[in-house]
Amino acid sequence: MGLPYDKYEAVIGLEVHAQLLTESKLFCGDSAAYGGAPNTHISPVTLAHPGTLPKMNRKAVEYAIRLGLACGCGIERYNYFARKNYFYPDLPKGYQVSQHTTPICVGGHVTIRTAEGTRQVQLNRIHMEEDAGKSLHDVDEAYTSIDLNRAGVPLLEIVTEPDLHSGEEAYAYLTELRKLVRYVEVCDGNMEEGSMRCDANISIRLKGETALGTKVEVKNLNSIRNVKKAIEIEIKRLVELVESGGTVIQETRSFDAANGTTFSLRTKEEANDYRYFPDPDLTPFHLTEEFIENIRSGMPALPEEKVAQYMNGYMLPEYDARQLADEKETAAYYDAVVSAFPEGAKFHKQAANWLLGPVRSWLNEHGGNMSAFPVTPEKMVALIELVEAGKVNFSIAQQEILPEMIISADKMPMDIAVAKNLIQEGDTDTLKIWVEEVMAEMPDKVNEFRKGKKGLIGLFVGEVKKKSKGKADPKRTNDILLEYLNNK
Ligand code: ADP
Ligand code: MG
């Protein structure tokens, strides 16, 4: 018997922690780089030795504003950091410095596209905070090991309103958010390495109800796919629980990817008392209009602006435009190709075909992104020109020339085509002679064609090709043949 899922609506809010790509930590000069031998990116400040004082990283503030502007948030002018007090072995100070109660970015939205259409997911806030260290339970049998390299690394916490309603929407939201943090270059967006982490808050309610149900929070979601999976599993569990007469309790659960289940970590029977208060070691900071304007005017084009440029400026189909704009590196490469076009050339669609076809296949096979592609945009343009001038056909160029260009970065496509004897005959007069010869040799077939057996065109093209020893440009041959067959 199926469950009456239709009675219920799921409500989801996501909290995403994004590790900033600053060189140093939020409050000291220690390296903020990922990895490194354990406990090498540390100083007395990170270790919270007595007498040390924090100093705020200006770049982190800039990055927070960059993402805030990209999401259409309001930017708070007066800011300060608070201490969130709790005890944990990987938290040397005994408190986390955070903007939890006074975020630098307020409101805003992220636009998502799902099967149901396009809509804006409302954000609650984006705030800055420092990361904690890492407790490692599998290094030593008897002890927990602590690595403090990550302690103090700047994070942005991006918090949505309870405004998502399915695993699919959460998937779309995270995909879009990851694209944005990469575009504005504040975070590498790598969920597997933990530089982007997501907690999902999930509740259910009867459709039509406006009050929120009791939520559960699911942690340890290390990929966008797992967030979707965990949400779907959790919605089902909550509905089954309520349908069987149970009550949802507010708790924190963990996702077990191997078993496709969630299990309880702790219940939140009483609220934690974090004793928030403004950090007396850090002065409040005031953002000037000039500081914000400088950041605004230095913003790169966002994915949606690229899509609009490709569709309206270059007349690309929406599918191509979105594929190209999906990754910043791909969009940048495409832009470089377009600016290397010879004067007056309009190969925008052809260039898109090359990037989304053969180039992408090569990247997929070699597991890299666009920055790993060894052919320069200028050489790509030379290849496109060769095909567009009818000197080499597309499939030959793709199979024979591009792979050679990838191996030998210094070779020009024309030289490869000549060396491999791939230049095709596109000269109309030469092609006409062969076409006339073929037609004279096969009068019966020509008659059949004219009576309606149009499939014979393939045979004629093949014959011309034979006469040319494989060099006749098939497209031009086809056009000339049709002209003769239909008129003469
Ligand atoms: P907490 O203090 O427990 O972290 P917040 O109020 O800060 O809770 O909200 C954290 C996240 O949970 C936000 O994304 C918010 O939208 C979401 N959220 C809050 N209440 C609910 C609910 N009842 N159902 C689903 N999501 C919720
Ligand atoms: Mg929370």
- Which of 308, 388, 377 has the alpha carbon at shortest distance from 111? 308
d(CA 53, CA 68): 28
Name the closest ligand to CA 250: 1
**pTM as predicted:** 0.88
160 lines ligand 1 (CB under 6 A): yes
Assess whether the C-beta atom of 203 lies below 6 angstroms from ligand 1: yes
Which of 86, 201, 217, 248 maximizes ligand 1 atoms within 8 Å of its Cβ, making it the mutation to test the pocket? 201
What is the token pair recorded at 410? 């210094």
pLDDT category, 1, cuts 50, 70, 90? very low
The Å distance, Cα 201 to ligand 2 centre, comes to 8
Which ligand sits closest to the CA of 14? 1
Q: For residues 464 and 61, which has the higher predicted lDDT (pLDDT)? A: 61
Which tokens sit at 485? 């067959």
Residue 103 Cβ < 6 Å to ligand 1: no
460 vs 32: CA distance, rounded Å: 67
Q: Are 147 and 134 in contact (CB under 8 A)?
A: yes
Tell which residue, 427, 425, 464, has the closest CA to residue 442. Answer: 464
Residues 64-103: pLDDT tens digits? Answer: 999 999 999 999 999 999 999 999 999 999 999 999 779 9
Strand partners, 256: 261
More confident residue, 61 or 1: 61
- The CB of 98 under 6 Å from ligand 1? The reply is no
Pairing of strands 117-130, 105-106: antiparallel
For residue 251 and ligand 1, the question of a CB distance below 6 A is answered with: no
Smallest CA separation from ligand 1 atom 17, residue: 13
Closest of 97, 301, 83, 269 to residue 183, by C-alpha: 301
Residue with tokens 């000269």: 427
Q: How far apart are CA 54 and CA 485, in angstroms?
A: 84
Helix axes 318-325, 328-339, angle to 10 degrees: 110
Cβ-Cβ contacts under 8 Å for 235 (sequence gap 6 or more): 10, 166, 167, 202, 204
Query: Which atom of ligand 1 is least distant from the CA of 13?
Result: 14
In short, whether 11's Cβ falls inside 6 Å of ligand 1 is yes
Tokens of 270: 């009483």
Span from the CA of 15 to the centroid of ligand 2 (angstroms): 7
- Bridge partner residues of 135 (DSSP): 146
pLDDT of residue 364: 93
pLDDT 10s digits, 302-312: 999 999 999 99
Ligand 1 atom 8: residue of nearest CA: 201
Ligand 1 atom 4: residue of nearest CA: 15
Task: Name the token pair of 195.
Answer: 């530089």
Question: Which two tokens mark 14?
Answer: 């996501």
Domains present along the chain, CATH in parentheses:
5-290 (no CATH), 300-419 (no CATH), 428-487 (1.10.10.410)
pLDDT at 422: 83
| 352-398 confidence digits (pLDDT tens) | 999 999 999 999 998 788 988 999 999 999 999 999 888 888 888 99
Task: Give the distance (Å) from ligand 1 centre to CA of residue 204.
Answer: 13
The residues pairing with 24 across neighbouring beta strands, listed in sequence order, are 31
State the burial class of residue 311 (Cβ atoms within 10 Å of its Cβ: 0-12, 13-18, 19+): middle
Is ligand 1 within 6 A of the CB of residue 13?
yes
> What average pLDDT does range 483-487 have in this prediction?
85
Q: What is the pLDDT of residues 201-260, one digit of tens each?
A: 999 999 999 999 999 999 989 999 999 999 999 999 999 999 999 999 999 999 998 998
